[in-house]
Structure 1
């Protein structure tokens, strides 16, 4: 889709924002972070808690994994942990987010501590990149290949295991799992299989617990395990068949077709594990010894088989025969095509294939992706690459660090060297892989790199990340989002916009605009979030996608806000900020707990909307822990926009702040306590003639009022959703804006009886320990003020704003009877 340079020259820009040139296609331009100062409000309260974490967190921990991978001294620092621990397949991503947070904090506050940490980390990353460069061309020790015996897969017990697809056991309330193997070494706690999300939530079968095999399932760690133990040790060097059946309250563990242990008091099922992504044969969630055995067959059923059936039945959900002779793919013979992948171990640390490589692990994952190795054997290597490059570019553009651009450029050259040799068909297959092929916004950073360096080779590199089929569907306005991983795809569309702005095809812009409508208009909850279990569900299915605790990943909201902001820059229409406001003041503000911590960011992974749910906070080292660092350090980046000729000033959000508009020689101060107060006052310092455009929120169209220097003005809302005030402005001019909050109800698209209550822009949630939808017969808009500001009561039900960051049980939707 990228035209030749002769067809589309780079956009020429006379000005910049946040260190990047303003694209010629923009009709509205945001101000740089350092041109806007936030005044005290709920936004600064949330921001300051993250800034306290940023000040306290040791910089050397952020680079520990990079130093270890490059063979440098870690200076005794431990890595962040979580997904960014010393062995995780996503390590390094959190460091990129941390860089972006520091850059934003420095630009927004000017505090020296943020700049000092930023420069320290960039210097360390450059040292790591230089260390990798000395190893370019060295073959290293390749990972040991998978050993196929002709009648099974031989697992070495040294980092080798089999990764099954994500949804392998999702939703199962009854199941049978059968595995046939020959144990070569009876290692205590070694796993035949282990499915879960970590040691606290999983189900596993160990071949030896010190006495014999044991099956266990838990949602609360080892202390909450429901177990089926067997008191006799399994044989070594002989074929053995192990089977577990789960049927209602009865769980049975079979050894060679004989029931060897049972538990008649089981209450947990695989469905209680949620949507586990670590579905492994031969690997433990706890980090126990690997399985040293030959695996011959594996079967998964969606029912409990009888003892007689175990010998001959073949799995209807998954059936792996392990009769391959080479490679790392294990074919699924069940008919569902759910192939598994063999992880063949890390091997020795191979040198990078090209100068410029930088990661917190060797190049292995990138090589395996080109071989179509699936998740969880590998875990989104280009996603991690994007986070690091984005953090470096932010360190350069926001933090003024020239070395950061040098490091990012080297990484870009390394990426180009890997991908430029691959055919389009191979790239398409790579990017279609669930999670393994997730690449974040690699096309975005490559387009930005082309802008900052003037090297259009990087724009070509951005095109290598085209997700061809989905891109074409969205460009044609064909909705094929159902079942796709939300945050795997959202940032791709921000990248398409960046590419369009650099002269690439208009199809990129059309695809992004249509994608935005598919999500915002048809897949968004009342608080602005999207997705169930990280996945887009069917168009216009809102009520039907609400579950207990897996809605609205915070990363998805983070990226959708970026897309909305960029679309507004191209087409200044208030509807983009109706969505932006809803998501910002509800999901984003509500994603940070109202508590202080200098050791934990205290941000959410998901912000669920089901009945009787709680928010979980924490998330050090996770994807949402990373975007959570950024969410709360850039609130001022969407309040004010100007026209490219500096003749118009847009006010999109009424966040208390001061704008220094140097091009016009004026300062505009916006005072108020939005969104906790339904009014704001703008005061002008300086003199200039310009068009002041005030966004009229969709929820305040009938009540929006304006006074200039105390005199009421006639409100005329433009087609784009603004009130336009064009005049000569002078020092002391005051514009008073009121946008009264009123209670109103929003119904779900697919079930009008399922409703949510809002007060102006604020989503109100009912505080109740009930686990089913609350039944409300009275008109919700007749609720009366509650015991605290912005709270309401309806009968005995208390409603509070979602932005209050607590972990109390709440209901976002209720049933209107």
Structure 2
């Protein structure tokens, strides 16, 4: 097979067999290997793929990378990827530009993550092809993120403004859950022990588009349910609060106090809503068994309330403009606030009316007439000064950049949970994708600006998390979805490697230790059943990276043990894992096909993306062939089959799941989802594991049989591989070198290969080639030497771990799927029964590549990217 034009341009002219013509650009070369590696990879620019089923899939993804939003101009794609960042940073977006959509829509919970993957895809495309269109888009995207970072930093440096108030000046709280979330923190113990209390204030609610209510994402959202004027107490179970809108049935102000959570609240609720855009005086009096809510000096609600502040215990969380955790997206008040006063008694109606003219709380009095800054002085004699949380408070780090504000991270630190109205998914997952994309832009495309942005993010993360106790971090990382942080520890370890002058980045990576699971995995205790698979898989690649930077042997042990808990014990025939997104019981494969009727999908594609990374990196440490065995299975089946065999510049056309329930099918698309993001990367880096070199550069490992050429500059050698694998069981390697050079050539023997023969320059080699190992040819090579490998493809079956009568069938490395719709809905009725003998002679070729018929059923390669129903498992009879 000949090199195609792209690869010839990338690697240079090969006809002369001169290694000098194969030199990869520095950005396309692999970085120096850590000391703990036994083998090292080649850079994407050092391996060129020739025409194959892999390049067909890759070229479709490259066309997407090049053509996405091309109607908006050359940088249209990157501008779409910048939309949410610019919006969050207060920068304008060009007319006609919209966000990518789905989870990365303008209101998407994970907005920004897809842009990180897009960065990685562009960097890989540039490193692998040398086509400058990818580099231009990459640089445009990095520069745009830099502008957003600078805008965030500028906004954070400006103190929350004082504005014209009811009397003098007021403090402005913008109220948006997506904005700066300004609010005031009052001293602990503010109302502790009081048997009676009065709280009075002036507020002017920000105008709101009423048509958007009760949309919690309305910006600002001062009239959405649950927004608090004040909230004093210990936590969400023991507190007293005033909200401006109780609920949809009662969209009116409400005062409540409770010592047993929402279900035990004692309340008084008004019967008219508060107006927006004008000053309103609100007062609550509580004492003597009665609570009264006043609006503009007139009682709007009253009723029996037996609880008092003294019943709440130690009040450690006292707020103006926000509520106790957990609240929803509507946690922050959008209003100008003036003259906030607290009294240690229940004022009379006459005294409340007088407050409209003058007030001076004897517990605390905030007039907001001081200079803008993080402190709002208490005008009473008690010096209970308030802390203004918002821009200019000195807690905003200049390295922050995201497609939403820091409030998402604040909410996670306060133990936000996934689901309901908590309104937070996985902020550090999104941060990881952005940082990983920036580091790829630096590593693969030489972008110093990207490294600067990644370093700023690292500084910002350190500034937030280093202040938190270990117990809180452990709680955060154990929360389903909200605590998902992807491979944040991996990126920080990579950043520490790129910035050896900043050792604190490795310490920051330790802050992401998922302590309980980490310790159990080090001990070999399998706790994976029921855990969110992709929330945890990338953590273990991160632990391995941390080990490489000197963090300790336990991290490597954890990574190796974790892999062994998944492979093969939770592995499906195509290399995927999980029911839906969840790990299920160890060793239960057939039993999981219908065991979860509400979750008909299996094998999230992100999980395979991350398991491949883990397997590859474990191999660097050990050279154990089992990792490359898994790599081939997952790459040649689930990953190759995860890209639809159709062109698109509007959508990556990749799978979220690769179901194994018989009669299910693959669905393609996934713009903006997690698997849409990893899918963009999957198909632009196929060459990353075809060849490895030994750490000493005295051996070349051929891991995958793919038509390709590797430039091994350390040895002054190029090796060209010609093959039609997996459609044929043979491959030829040709040495291109100017001078003789000695090295060991290590060829992987696939586990299915019962026969494996090697011929060098026409001479058969006497080798012991056990399946699942590497064979070694150690000699002095010269230009023109050829190595022919013969490994005849054969049909072979693999039984489910928990039922030897339920099988899958392969031809060589290729999983064959029955082309058929569902036939039943449980393990007893839903499997196709096949009358096949032990020799599998019932399988007859149809004449199509790797297609067979058996017992009336057609089997085709799973890697064909179509939406037809299929069966990967069947019952032998």
The interval holding the TM-score normalised by the smaller chain is 0.7 to 0.9
Give the one of 671, 680, 697 matched to 2:750: 697
Whether 1:482 aligns to 2:529 is yes
d(CA) in 1 for partners of 2:85, 2:613: 28
Match of 1:761 in 2: 813
- Structure 1 residue aligned with 2:569: 522
Q: Which residue of 1 aligns with 2:249?
A: 183
| Deviation, structure 1 residue 615 | 0.3
SS at match of 2:805: strand
Distance 1:435-1:648 versus aligned 2 partners, 3 A rule = same
Q: Secondary structure at the match of 2:445?
A: coil
Task: Tell me: CA distance 1:683–1:448, structure 2 relative to 1, closer, same or farther (3 Å).
Answer: same
Inter-partner Cα distance in structure 2 for 1:678 and 1:344: 61
Partner of residue 116, structure 2: 96
1:344 paired with 2:330, answer yes
Identify which of 397, 402, 426 aligns with 2:472: 426
Report the alpha carbon displacement of residue 89 of structure 1 after superposing the two structures with TM: 1.3
Is contact 1:350–1:363 with CA below 8 Å preserved after alignment? no
Partner SS state of residue 418, structure 2: coil
Give the distance between the partners of 2:248 and 2:603, measured in 1 at CA.
Answer: 44
Number of matched pairs: 631
Distance 2:761 2:54 in 1: 28
Of the three residues 115, 120, 139, the one matched with 2:140 is: 120
Q: 1:498 aligns with which of 541, 545, 555?
A: 545
Q: 1:111 & 1:808 partners in 2: Cα distance?
A: 35
Matching of residues 405-416 of structure 1 within 5 Å: 405-416=451-462
> 2:770 and 2:640 mapped to 1: Cα distance?
29
Partner of 1:804: 864
* Counterpart secondary structure, 2:799: strand
Specify the alignment match of 2:487 in structure 1: 441
Partner in structure 2 of residue 23 of structure 1: 34
Q: Output one character per residue of 1:295-333: Cα deviation in whole Å (capped at 9) or x when no partner.
A: xxxxxxxxxxxxxxxxxxxxxxxxxxxxxx96233xxxx
CA distance in 2, matches of 1:719, 1:765: 24
Question: Offset of 1:353 from its aligned partner?
Answer: 1.6
Q: Contact between 1:542 and 1:750, CA under 8 Å: does it hold in 2?
A: yes
Structure 1 residues 515 and 553, CA gap change in structure 2 (3 angstroms): same
Please list the CA deviations of residues 253-289 of structure 1 after superposition, one character each: whole Å capped at 9, or x if unmatched: xxxxxxxxxxxxxxxxxxxxxxxxxxxxxxxxxxxxx
Question: What residue is the counterpart of 2:735 in the other structure?
Answer: 684
Deviation at 1:675, TM superposition (A): 1.7
Match of 1:327 in 2: 324
Q: 2-side partners of 1:719 and 1:585: how far apart?
A: 18
**Distance change (3 Å), C-alpha of 1:161 and 1:105:** farther
Aligned pair partner of 2:82 in 41, 63, 77:
63
Q: 3-state DSSP class of the match of 1:517?
A: helix
* Larger CA Rg, structure 1 vs 2: 2
Q: Is the 8 A contact 1:158 1:345 kept in 2?
A: no
Pick aligned residue for 1:774 from 832, 853, 859: 832
Q: Is the 8 A contact 2:429 2:484 kept in 1?
A: yes
Q: 1:719 to 1:620 in 2, by over 3 A?
A: closer
- Could you tell me how far 1:779 is from its partner in structure 2? 2.7
Q: 1:723 to 1:161 in 2, by over 3 A?
A: farther
Greater shift after overlay, 750-759 or 34-43?
Answer: 750-759
Counterparts of 1:638 and 1:471 in 2: how far apart (Å)?
28
Cα offset, 1:521, TM superposition: 2.0
CA contact under 8 A between 1:555 and 1:623: conserved in structure 2?
yes
Q: Kindly report which structure 2 residues correspond to 1:170-209, keeping only aligned pairs within 5 A, or say none.
A: 183-184=249-250
Q: Which moved more, 1:744-753 or 1:17-26?
A: 17-26
Q: What SS does the aligned partner of 1:344 have?
A: coil
Task: State yes or no: 1:566 paired with 2:563.
Answer: no
TM-score (norm 2): 0.70
Residue from 400, 412, 432 that aligns with 1:369: 412
**Match among 606, 609, 613 for residue 660 of structure 2:** 609
Deviation at 1:374, TM superposition (A): 0.9
* Structure 1 residue 653: Cα displacement: 0.4
- Partners of 1:347 and 1:776 in 2: CA distance: 65
User: How far off is 1:715 after superposition?
Assistant: 2.1
Distance 1:574 1:156, change over 3 A: same
Label 1:764 to 1:507 Cα distance change in 2 as closer, same or farther (>3 A).
same
Deviation at 1:718, TM superposition (A): 7.2
SS in 2 for 1:127: helix
Q: Secondary structure in 2 aligned to 1:134?
A: helix
Q: Contact (CA 8 Å) 2:659, 2:666: kept in 1 or not? A: yes
What is the alpha-carbon distance in structure 1 between the residues aligned to residue 604 and residue 484 of structure 2? 16
Q: What is the aligned partner in structure 1 of residue 762 from structure 2?
A: 710
* Residue among 107, 110, 115 paired with 2:127: 107
Q: Equivalent residue for 1:582? A: 633
Distance 1:371 1:18, change over 3 A: farther
Written as runs of structure 1 = structure 2, the 5 A alignment for 1:385-404 is 385-404=431-450
Paired residue secondary structure (2:48)? strand
- The answer to whether the 8 A contact 1:350-1:362 is kept is no
Q: Of 786, 793, 796, which residue of structure 1 is paired with 2:846?
A: 786
Aligned to 2:657, the other structure's residue is in SS state: coil
Q: TM-score, normalised by structure 1?
A: 0.75
Contact 2:112–2:403 (8 Å) recurs in 1: yes
Stretch of structure 1 that moved more, 64-73 or 763-772: 763-772
Pairwise CA distance, 1:185: 6.1
Distance 1:598 1:722 in 2: 41
> Residues 67 and 360 of structure 1 are in contact (CA less than 8 Å); yes or no, is this contact kept in structure 2?
yes
The alignment's C-alpha RMSD in Å is 2.4
The answer (yes or no) to whether the contact 2:27–2:445 under 8 Å persists in 1 is no
Please give the alpha-carbon distance, in whole angstroms, between the structure 2 residues aligned to 1:594 and 1:682.
29
Deviations 1:670-713 (A, max 9, x none): 1112222211100001131000000001110x211111111111
Deviation at 1:18, TM superposition (A): 4.8
Moved more, 738-747 or 476-485: 738-747
CA apart distance, 1:607 = 0.3
Q: Match of 1:260?
A: none
Candidates 516, 521, 545, aligned match of 2:592 = 545
Structure 1 pair 346/648, CA: closer, same or farther in 2 (3 Å)? farther
Is 1:132–1:357's contact at 8 Å kept on the other side of the alignment? yes
CA offset at residue 789 of structure 1? 1.6
Deviation at 1:17, TM superposition (A): 8.4
Residues 1:631 and 2:691 are matched in the alignment: no
Give the superposition deviation at 1:184.
3.4
Asked whether the 8 Å contact 2:750–2:771 carries over to 1, the reply is: no
- C-alpha deviations, 1:606-634, integer Å up to 9, x for none? 00011101100000000000000000000
State the SS of the aligned residue for 1:342: coil
1:379-425 CA distance string (max 9 Å, x none): 10000000000000000110111100001100110000000000000
Q: CA deviation at 1:492?
A: 0.2
Partner of 2:513: 466
Moved more, 782-791 or 24-33: 782-791
Gaps of 5+ in 2: 1-25, 69-76, 161-172, 185-211, 217-223, 227-245, 253-269, 273-321, 335-388, 824-829
User: Is residue 174 of structure 2 the alignment partner of residue 141 of structure 1?
Assistant: yes
The whole-number CA distance in structure 2 between the counterparts of 1:703 and 1:123 is 54
What is the match of residue 740 of structure 1? 792
Q: How does 1:289-328 map to 2 (within 5 A)?
A: 327-328=324-325
1:309 is matched with which residue? Answer: none
Match of 2:644 in 1: 593
